[in-house]
Structure 1
């Protein structure tokens, strides 16, 4: 995906949550993750579980090129908009734990669970590999997060695995290769050659994964509500743009 000429990853386990969710705190341990899930499951389970009665907050799904400060921007968006941040490692851990995945899906009422089953049927038979069960768990987790709303989801194919009608904003973050190379060299302490190999490998894996499981081209701008060149648009401006779009689509 080539960054836009005009201006309109690194790893990290983190969530930002407010009040009881302790706005602004960065979760980095398994104990913290389990506590976070416990709080979220309690909050979700307390809701009236019908499609019409659930008052969904915004759902922002972020796809990003490696090295364009996607994690930092996602954290800032979650904090400024008062949303929960689910980064790719958290979503991955939930999806890989079948028991936790079942608990997450159990927070949906029968009507919504039926809707989930209908949606998953649309993917039936398209993936015939050992990771099929994990992929189904991942879809269930993303669907459930989207149903409950108030979420910023970073990576893990959220832009492509969440039904479009459940998503407030699909955002793609890009930047010129030189900018991304410099960012990754500084963050991961790699040589330029190692960094370029890392970028090529990461982008190839992302492209193939989305094509196989999301049935889409990650580099096609038409798959997003908005594509932003982070080298030309400040984090503060990105937050304001997202706020305006969320307000308009809510």
Structure 2
């Protein structure tokens, strides 16, 4: 797998080329995917991306874009002047609507997510993207599954005992809930925060991906 900095560099170059070409090829909303740990959300995201030809932005990639000031500046500068202005409006509206007092990292994270949203043709996994992007530019998905199934999946994926897998699932779940509560004053599990909730306890990855593609198509 490519290093994070390589992925960022390649993405920035693609965006810079598209800006110079003034490409307008974005008719689909940006798909945001929130997922319970072990529910297979990353696999659903990958399957949707392959079907629709979208870029996937996962947590580590967004963190790397937001945590380094030089990288964040490069990412944001891939937008034209109008795009930067709209980005500032998006972030300001998100902060104002939810009465947020974001720290430096949160502000930059929101700007990175907003930049991805402006470019479009993307799936954003995690990081509360559904709370940042405006309604007309997003389709919000939540992937869930029964706890025991999630524990079994994590145990198999990481080659660990079910006892250790359960600890990992519950710890990650707690961390994600705390992140959304801290930065967006919201409940990550509230279905009202999503346009579609899919249960991979009863749906296969392909079926979940097909449902999302049908909804946004």
Give TM-score, length-normalised by structure 1.
0.78
Question: Which residue of structure 1 lines up, in the alignment, with residue 76 of structure 2?
Answer: 105
Counterpart among 188, 198, 210 of residue 158 in structure 2: 188
1:78 aligns with 2:49: yes
For residues 59-138 of structure 1, the aligned pairs below 5 Å read: 59-122=30-93, 123=95, 126-127=100-101, 132-138=103-109
How far off its partner does 1:176 sit? 0.5
Sort the Cα spacing of 1:31 and 1:133 in 2 relative to 1 into closer, same or farther, 3 A.
closer
How far off its partner does 1:114 sit? 2.0
Q: Is the Cα contact below 8 Å between 2:54 and 2:123 reproduced in 1?
A: yes
Inter-partner Cα distance in structure 2 for 1:246 and 1:28: 29
Equivalent position SS for 1:46:
helix
The aligned length equals 213
Sort the Cα spacing of 1:210 and 1:170 in 2 relative to 1 into closer, same or farther, 3 A.
same
1:217 aligns with 2:191: no
Sort the Cα spacing of 1:47 and 1:209 in 2 relative to 1 into closer, same or farther, 3 A.
farther
| RMSD, matched Cα | 2.0
Counterpart among 99, 120, 141 of residue 149 in structure 1: 120
Q: Is the Cα contact below 8 Å between 1:57 and 1:148 reproduced in 2?
A: no
Q: Which runs of 5+ in 2 are unaligned?
A: none
How far off its partner does 1:104 sit? 1.7
Q: Is the Cα contact below 8 Å between 2:45 and 2:209 reproduced in 1?
A: no
More helix by proportion, 1 or 2? 2
Sort the Cα spacing of 1:107 and 1:217 in 2 relative to 1 into closer, same or farther, 3 A.
same
For residues 159-198 of structure 1, the aligned pairs below 5 Å read: 159-167=130-138, 169-198=139-168
1:118-139 deviation per Cα after TM superposition (whole angstroms, max 9, x unaligned): 33334277336xxx11111111
1:42 aligns with 2:16: yes
Sort the Cα spacing of 1:165 and 1:215 in 2 relative to 1 into closer, same or farther, 3 A.
farther
Sort the Cα spacing of 1:30 and 1:88 in 2 relative to 1 into closer, same or farther, 3 A.
closer
How far off its partner does 1:157 sit? 1.6
Structure 1 range deviating more: 77-86 or 188-197: 188-197
Inter-partner Cα distance in structure 1 for 2:173 and 2:116: 26
Q: Which runs of 5+ in 1 are unaligned?
A: 1-26
Give TM-score, length-normalised by structure 2.
0.88
Q: Is the Cα contact below 8 Å between 1:78 and 1:84 reproduced in 2?
A: yes
Inter-partner Cα distance in structure 2 for 1:31 and 1:63: 24
How far off its partner does 1:54 sit? 4.0
Inter-partner Cα distance in structure 1 for 2:105 and 2:169: 26
